[in-house]
Every structure is written in structure tokens, then in C-alpha cells.
Amino acid sequence: MTAVGWLALAVAAVASSRRAPPVVRTDALAERGRLVEPPAHPARAGQRVKWAAALAALLAVGVAATWWCRGALLGIAAAALGGTGWLIGRDHTQRRVADRHARELLAAVRLVVAELEVGTQPAAALHAAAELAPHHAVSLHEAAIAAAGAGDAAAPLLRDPATVAIGSAWQLGEQAGIPLAGVLHQVSHDLAAAAEHRRGVDVSLAGPRASAFVLAALPVLGVGLGAALGARPWAFLFGTGAGHGVCCAGVVLDAAGALWMRAILRRAERI
């Protein structure tokens, strides 16, 4: 496969990866007595940029493998293996980052509730909360500045999808005259329930994820066993034209199986 072919493949993949932005359903959740929806999947900020960078890297890997191995089939296999590994690694990283941000935000809301209950000014409480949630510090600091100047403290919070529940609760408390500590306590309860939901899903899917990893690694184990028995599979796979075809077909099918299992697991996370 030429460099032009790899570039066309990358462009097609970028075009097919575009998704519609998520819709915030705060009003419907509030009608059901909740302000926070259980998370369906980690945040996807800058997804198109990440996809473009990843596919550019795959293009480079494929071209380099094609040149180094003097074979387009091995280049396809290298790109499939690298792309699948990158996607799975990105999913793991996103889950860890999302969990950390959720814990920080829950701690920040609980701190605001505790500060308000002892009589601390809202601005000071929000500034203190920003120290516990660095990822959302900008929104919290802006809300604190607005609260200190008798402005609309809910507006900065409503602009951040992660803090929109806090902003809605803040706005509800100010408009209806309800103590802020009370409505924010409900938000903290919802955040804790969402975190518990996420932990339950992760525990339930830990077994399927481990099984998928073992199944994906079985072909490598088989090649290793063949080498241990003196069958010389590496010489066949990388030293002959037929071996290139077998290697490419095996890697692509293995990657397709891993991606299929990844899609099933991601769908299960959204249930």
C-alpha cells in the first residue's frame, strides 16, 4: 500500500469518527429529583483532534513498517496492531482521568456544603472548593468572583458541562430562596450515587475485560509455543511472502476481535 493509500484511509477514518455533541438533560433530571445523571462514558473533549493525531501516527507507522519490512502486508498489520493498542490504552486512561475528576468534584461540592453550613461566605467557599478540583478550578473561581461581586455565580458553573448540576442547584437556590447548602447537598448525594454507579459498572466489566485481553493474547502465545517447539514461526511469518499474508490476516482478525469486544464493553458501560 502506498503513502497515498494510507493517507486516504486516515482521512476516511477521521470523517467516520465524527459524533454529535452530548445533550445536557438537567431539567428532566431535576423533575425526577436528581440533578446528576450517572456517567455513561468518559468525557470526549477534543475528540476530533485526538483522532486526527492518532491516525496520523498510524499513517506514519504503516509507512515506516512498509519501508522497513519491504512489504505492504506487514505495514497493514503494524498499523492495525498499533491502532488497536492505542484505542484500548486511551480508553483505560480516560476511565482513570474521569474517575479522578469525579472524585475531585465530589470533594469540592462537599466542601462547599460544609463551609456554607458553618456560615462561610459563598465566594470563600467556592474559592476553597477550587483548590480541591483543579480540573474545574476556572469555573469555580469565576463563580466565586461573581458571588463576591453580587453577580450571577451560577453562570460560570452552567458553562462547564461537569459543573452544570452545581450551577443549576445554585440558580435554583437563589431564585427560590432555598438555602444553598440544602440544594448543594442534594447535588453531592447525586454525585456520590453516580460515582457508586461507575464503580459498580467497572467491577461488573472487570471479568469481561480480562477475558478479552486473554483471548487477544492467545495468538501471540501460540506463536511463542511454536518457536519453543522448534517450528521457526518467526522465519515463516517475516521471511516469506506467504508468511506476510498469514501475519497480516492474523493480526487484522485479532485486532477486529479486540475492537468488537471493546465496542460491546463500551455499550455495556452506557447501560
Q: DSSP string spanning 118-152? A: TT--HHHHHHHHHHH-GGGHHHHHHHHHHHHTTS-
Give the lowest-confidence range in 45-59, 143-157, 255-269.
Answer: 45-59
User: What nine digits make up the cell of 149?
Assistant: 461581586
CA distance linking residue 223 with residue 246, whole number of Å: 12
Q: Is 154 exposed, middle or buried (0-12, 13-18, 19+ CB in 10 A)?
A: buried
Are the C-beta atoms of 142 and 158 separated by less than 8 Å?
Answer: no
CA distance linking residue 217 with residue 255, whole number of Å: 10
Q: What mean pLDDT is reported for the chain? A: 77
CA 235, distance to chain mean position in Å, is: 39
For 78-92, write each residue's pLDDT tens digit.
Answer: 888 888 888 888 888
CA 232, distance to chain mean position in Å, is: 41
Is pLDDT larger for residue 39 or for residue 174?
A: 174
For 191-222, write each residue's pLDDT tens digit.
Answer: 999 888 888 888 888 888 898 888 888 888 88
pLDDT at 6: 40
Is pLDDT larger for residue 187 or for residue 3?
A: 187
CA 241, distance to chain mean position in Å, is: 39
Name, in order, each residue with C-beta under 8 angstroms of 111's C-beta and a sequence gap of 6 or more: 125, 128, 129, 132
pLDDT at 9: 43
User: What nine digits make up the cell of 145?
Assistant: 468572583
CA 251, distance to chain mean position in Å, is: 25
Look at the alpha carbons of 106, 110, 113, 115 in this order and tell me if their dihedral is positive or negative: negative
pTM above 0.75, yes or no: no
Q: Is 181 exposed, middle or buried (0-12, 13-18, 19+ CB in 10 A)?
A: middle
Q: Is 52 exposed, middle or buried (0-12, 13-18, 19+ CB in 10 A)?
A: middle
Are the C-beta atoms of 247 and 254 separated by less than 8 Å?
Answer: no
